[in-house]
Amino acid sequence: MRKEDIYKNIKELLVPVGAIALGLLVGAIIILMIGGNPIEAYKALFIGAFGDKNKIANTLARSTPLIFSGLAVAFAFRCGLFNIGVEGQMFVGALAAAYVGANVTGLPKVIHLPLTVISAMLAGGLWAAVPGVLKAKRGVHEVINTIMMNFISYALIAFLVTDVLRAPGQTPRTVGILPSAQLARLSELVNWSNSRLNTGFLIGLAACAVIYYLLWKTTVGYEVRSVGLSPMAAEYGGINSNQKIILAMVISGALGGLAGAERILGFDRALILGFSPGFGFEGIAVALLGRNHPVGVLLGALLFGALSNGGAWMNFSTDVPVDLIVVLQAVIIFFVAADQIVRRLFPKKKKDWGVV
Amino acid sequence: MQPILSMESITKRFPGVIANDGVNFDLHAGEIHALVGENGAGKSTLMNVLFGLYQPEEGKIIYKGEEITIDEPNHAIKLGIGMVHQHFKLVPPLTVTENIVLGSEPKRGLKFDKRKASKDVEDLSKKYGLAVDPKAKIENISVGMQQRVEILKTLYRGADIIILDEPTAVLTPQEVHEFFDILKELTKQGKSIIFITHKLNEVMEIANRATVMRRGKTMGTVNISDTSPTQLAEMMVGRQVLLRVEKAEAKPGKEVLKVESLSAMDDRNLSAVNNVSLNIREGEILGIAGVEGNGQSELIEVLTGLRKPTSGEVFLNGKKITGLTSKQIKNHQLGYIPEDRHKRGLVLDFSISENVILGIHNRKPFAKGVNLNYNEINKHADNLIEKYDVRCPNRQVHVRSLSGGNQQKIIIARELEVDPVLIIASQPTRGVDIGAIEFIHSQIIQARDKGKAVLLVSAELQEVMSLSDRIAVIYEGEIVDVLDAKEATEEKLGLLMAGIRNNEK
Ligand SMILES: Nc1ncnc2c1ncn2[C@@H]1O[C@H](COP(=O)(O)OP(=O)(O)OP(=O)(O)O)[C@@H](O)[C@H]1O
Ligand SMILES: [Mg+2]
């Protein structure tokens, strides 16, 4: 890497890292105010997330859906779209995975598993195509539409899981995924782990690489980014921005669908109503923290996964309640969004925000 | 005379460039001081330093006898330094009054005192003879008016020094005259003015002194009464510059572009282009003269596929291209230099490499299947940077960080290099320095001599007259007349541009 590139990358990292540091600082003050010991609490947080091999595996497992949802938000954003509907796209993806994974029988794994994963992507993609088409053809704002689509998906998943697809038993859940459609868990591969971390994580890493390649190495990615940065210039350059908007929404939705597939096929092995604590919405935070770059998204997802798992540990090994994690996440996001505050606090690069 | 302001050995670096390299600059009270120099010479940077937007690494600023540091624009404003940027910073949906007081609103208690604001603005506009409609919304007023608002904004904040960064680049000739009257009035009332421009005739007309910059350094300050445009040009570029265009007789070939009774609407659905018929042949430059806003922009948007016509036909090389998309038209080998480089011509947050393939990114060798071929793209970018003398640290910088003229060169380079049969050039030299103008003009003429057809639209009458072989005059969306360039005089064109036909048929 050349000197200027290194310099540029450091500059990119400044805001997220600064925001995390400030978040931890604010968190420490809050812990002090409620009479706790910040050092103890953060130690517990760290141990809970990375204390041993199994805990690390669990952290990765918690991060996996965030990689997909973060990528989904980031990709749409590169095309200038704010996809708030990843949660809903994930739900319909989960429904498709749960149905195809449990009800299509007699297929070998090499066919059944890819088929199931692809159906989840298709479902998510089609779900997101609706707001995409409305935006492109009618100019309806995608934020409104994706939120509306979320509500529909909540109702849909509740209805289908409690009624149509419900497995016998107390909790509303679908019947188990057939072995031929399951993503292998770590606990099944090694004996030291009971983690439900599964090969979906590897799919997540691959997705980061694919999205990176798509955005920066292909002509389609070039067009998507042009539309996102300057729709007028894109139009001048002969780029059909409506087409790109629909495409970006479909790809974003497909990534949302993958988030659902990983949970259903690997982590839970069935669709349990309420399986998501809001992965789709956390994805917005992850994308923001990761500056809409696949590598940033990966790191952001790992951080949020670690905070969640570490927070649970902190909750029961110290007096600090798990709610602190939500505060931490909120403060970090606040500082990322208000990046000028961070830039001013770390004055090295002050004033070069370039007005010509 | 004691200067009111002096900047001594100012140095400001950006990654890869020294934008100001030990620059000296001083300003006398009550003078109009022109700051001139090539694109990327560091003029805007120097003024941004003075306005507190950038911190210089070295040097000092002495203002009213005291050494000062200016950490931010608010500080500069408090000291009585105001700046009108190259690109305006107004809030379009707000009114003139609201924009002027924004940030230092008069208050009664906690409430915005609207009445006092209106009154202040009215008083101010009377005092300096800057007529504005205080209740009009920014989005509904002309660029010239917006500029007055920007100037009033600085005056409202009590500016004694007013920095104007290329204020005339966006004005029509008529507006420039009014603007100069305003400047004279301001200096009469004791204000000092720094005026950045690329137009040497303006410098000669209005300035008292001029400071010339070149590649981040000051080449000297001269009294206007002791200098000439040629001398200034030479100081700027470091060699003699042709201020005239030299070209051979045109040898027109077969017809390339044919426009038949074309009509189109503008964005507000009012008739903008009205029954226009034109033709351009190989090896010929057709200029369109007209006061801005008479349908030129819409006409060009229709020709390039960015706007749908309501009626009429367009033929390129005999093939009908009416209603085709811009991509399809581009594929008929059209080179198009758009008038608004920031909105249309460039993706500002893309690198130079990414920008030089905009519109041709799907073609070989830049695309290899679905992939971009970065080897070829980078090679192409480096070629163009060298051939067109684009001043930049490297091909990877975002074009946003380039100076205006260098941004323009990137567009020109990209569009001329696709080997087009027709070149549509709209305001090709707006905001570009004299050296680059000479270069761009010679490129356009070379293209013509290679047999390309050129359609030129420019607000600069001089440019249209010196480049064109034939001149079509547009008025309220209609072509009022087409003249041979040799017969055209400024007076003749001026009358036609005002809609007065010499011989009503
Ligand atoms: N924010 C920035 N970051 C990096 N480089 C910059 C920045 N602003 C300006 N530069 C560089 O500094 C140099 C001087 O630019 P500046 O805008 O001052 O030129 P200028 O004289 O105003 O030119 P023009 O007449 O084209 O407006 C150029 O090489 C430009 O690329
Ligand atoms: Mg400038």
Angle between helix A200-217 and helix A241-262 axes, rounded to 10 deg: 170
* pLDDT-derived band at B431, boundaries 50, 70, 90: confident
Residue B44, chain A, CB below 8 Å: the answer is yes
Taking the CA of residue B404 as reference, the ligand 1 atom at the shortest distance is 26
SS3 label, residue B51: coil
Among B53, B326, B333, B347, the strongest candidate for a mutation testing the A interface, having the largest count of A CBs within 10 A, is: B347
Question: Is B370 in contact with A219 (Cβ distance < 8 A)?
Answer: yes
Angle between helix A109-133 and helix A86-103 axes, rounded to 10 deg: 150
Q: Highest-confidence range of A12-26, A71-85, B163-177, by mean pLDDT?
A: A71-85
Cα distances (angstroms) measured from residue A282 to each of A85, B205, B414: 12, 62, 42
Position B435 scores a pLDDT of 84
| Ion ligand 2: residues, Cβ under 5 Å | B 44
Average pLDDT over residues B314-330: 88
pLDDT tens for residues B404-418? 888 999 999 999 998
Q: For residue B292, give both structure tokens.
A: 């801005």
Question: Is A220 in contact with B361 (Cβ distance < 8 A)?
Answer: no
Question: Is A233 in contact with B86 (Cβ distance < 8 A)?
Answer: no
Residue B421, chain A, CB below 8 Å: the answer is no
Residue B359, chain A, CB below 8 Å: the answer is yes
Closest Cα in chain A, distance from residue B485 (Å):
31
Q: Per-residue pLDDT for A355 more than 80? A: no
Lowest mean pLDDT among A220-234, B2-16, B128-142, B285-299: B128-142
CA of B154 to the centre of ligand 2 (A): 19
> Which B residues 239-278 touch A at CB under 8 Å?
none
Closest Cα in chain A, distance from residue B163 (Å):
13
Q: Per-residue pLDDT for A71 more than 90? A: yes
Q: Per-residue pLDDT for B1 more than 70? A: no
In Å, the largest CA–CA distance within chain B is 74
Sheet strand arrangement including B422-426: B334-337, B422-426, B453-457, B284-289, B470-475, B478-484
Say how many CB pairs under 8 Å bridge A and B: 92
B168 versus A204: the higher-pLDDT residue is A204
pLDDT tens for residues B118-159? 888 988 888 888 888 888 888 888 777 888 899 899 999 989
Whole-model pTM: value is 0.85
Taking the CA of residue A354 as reference, the ligand 1 atom at the shortest distance is 1
Residue nearest to atom 8 of ligand 1 (CA): B401
Position A356 scores a pLDDT of 32
Closest listed ligand to the CA of A354: 1
- Mean pLDDT, chain A, integer: 90
DSSP symbol at B390: -
Report the alpha-carbon distance of residue A247 to residue A255 in Å, rounded: 12
Position B139 scores a pLDDT of 81
Position A200 scores a pLDDT of 96
Position A347 scores a pLDDT of 53
Closest Cα in chain B, distance from residue A239 (Å):
7
* pLDDT-derived band at A350, boundaries 50, 70, 90: very low
Residue nearest to atom 28 of ligand 1 (CA): B40
Give CA angle at B497 (B492, B501), nearest 5°.
65
Number of Cβ atoms within 10 Å of the Cβ of B395:
20
Instruction: Please state the ipTM of this predicted complex.
Output: 0.85
Lowest mean pLDDT among A58-67, A121-130, B325-334, B475-484: B325-334
Radius of gyration of chain B (CA): 24
SS3 label, residue A185: strand
Please give the residue of chain A at the shortest CA–CA distance from B397.
A4
Taking the CA of residue B47 as reference, the ligand 1 atom at the shortest distance is 18
Pocket test for ligand 1, best of B18, B163, B402, B432 (most atoms within 8 A of CB): B402
> Which A residues 7-66 touch B at CB under 8 Å?
7
- Residue B54's Cβ-side half-sphere holds a number of Cα atoms within 13 Å equal to 24
> Which B residues 317-346 touch A at CB under 8 Å?
325-328, 330-331, 336, 338, 343-346
Taking the CA of residue B403 as reference, the ligand 1 atom at the shortest distance is 26
Hey, do B5-237 and B244-333+420-505 end up sharing a CATH topology, with the first three levels equal? yes
Residue A233, chain B, CB below 8 Å: the answer is yes
Report the alpha-carbon distance of residue A307 to residue A285 in Å, rounded: 13
* pLDDT-derived band at B386, boundaries 50, 70, 90: very high
CA of B445 to the centre of ligand 2 (A): 27
Residue pair A96/A126 in contact by the 8 Å Cβ criterion? no
Average pLDDT over residues B455-463: 89
Q: Per-residue pLDDT for B505 more than 60? A: no
Number of Cβ atoms within 10 Å of the Cβ of B22:
14
- Ligand 1: residues whose CB is within 6 Å? A 354, 356; B 14, 17, 19, 37, 39-45, 391, 401-405, 433
Residue B60, chain A, CB below 8 Å: the answer is no
- Mean pLDDT, chain B, integer: 89
- Write down the H helix ranges in B36-166: 43-50, 73-79, 96-101, 114-127, 143-156
Q: Per-residue pLDDT for A333 more than 90? A: no
Q: Residue A33: what residue type?
A: M
Closest Cα in chain B, distance from residue A201 (Å):
27
Position A2 scores a pLDDT of 60
Which residue bears the tokens 């590598």? A295
* Chain A CB contacts of B396 below 8 Å: 4
Residue pair B230/B243 in contact by the 8 Å Cβ criterion? yes
Q: Per-residue pLDDT for A349 more than 60? A: no
CA of B40 to the centre of ligand 2 (A): 7
Average pLDDT over residues B440-461: 91
CA of A204 to the centre of ligand 2 (A): 46
CA of B30 to the centre of ligand 1 (A): 28
Average pLDDT over residues A176-187: 93
* Chain B CB contacts of A220 below 8 Å: 370
Residue pair B441/B460 in contact by the 8 Å Cβ criterion? no
Q: Per-residue pLDDT for B491 more than 60? A: yes
Residue A282, chain B, CB below 8 Å: the answer is no
Candidates A219, A222, A351; nearest CB to B53: A351
Report the alpha-carbon distance of residue A64 to residue A48 in Å, rounded: 17
Q: For residue A313, give both structure tokens.
A: 């540990």
| Domain regions of chain B by residue span | 5-237, 244-333+420-505, 349-417
Closest Cα in chain B, distance from residue A263 (Å):
32
Q: Per-residue pLDDT for B59 more than 90? A: yes
Closest Cα in chain A, distance from residue B363 (Å):
10
Report the alpha-carbon distance of residue B208 to residue B226 in Å, rounded: 10
Among A11, A213, A356, the strongest candidate for a mutation testing the B interface, having the largest count of B CBs within 10 A, is: A356
A352 versus B7: the higher-pLDDT residue is B7
pLDDT tens for residues B469-478? 999 999 999 9
Residue nearest to atom 16 of ligand 1 (CA): B42
**Does the domain made of B244-333+420-505 have the CATH classification 3.40.47.10?**
no
Residue B396, chain A, CB below 8 Å: the answer is yes
Residue B354, chain A, CB below 8 Å: the answer is yes
Report the alpha-carbon distance of residue A83 to residue A73 in Å, rounded: 6
- Write down the H helix ranges in A263-338: 279-289, 294-317, 323-337
B283 versus A7: the higher-pLDDT residue is B283
Question: Is A236 in contact with B362 (Cβ distance < 8 A)?
Answer: no
Report the alpha-carbon distance of residue B418 to residue B434 in Å, rounded: 25
Residue pair A307/A94 in contact by the 8 Å Cβ criterion? no
Position A4 scores a pLDDT of 63
CA of A337 to the centre of ligand 1 (A): 28
Residue A163, chain B, CB below 8 Å: the answer is no
CATH fourth-level superfamily of B5-237: P-loop containing nucleotide triphosphate hydrolases (3.40.50.300)
Q: For residue B216, give both structure tokens.
A: 């981040």
Residue nearest to atom 1 of ligand 1 (CA): A354
What does the CA dihedral B345, B346, B352, B355 come to, rounded to 10 degrees? -70
Report the alpha-carbon distance of residue B151 to residue B450 in Å, rounded: 46
* Chain A CB contacts of B306 below 8 Å: 235-236
Give CA angle at A287 (A274, A347), nearest 5°.
135
Residue A202, chain B, CB below 8 Å: the answer is no
Q: Residue A293: what residue type?
A: H
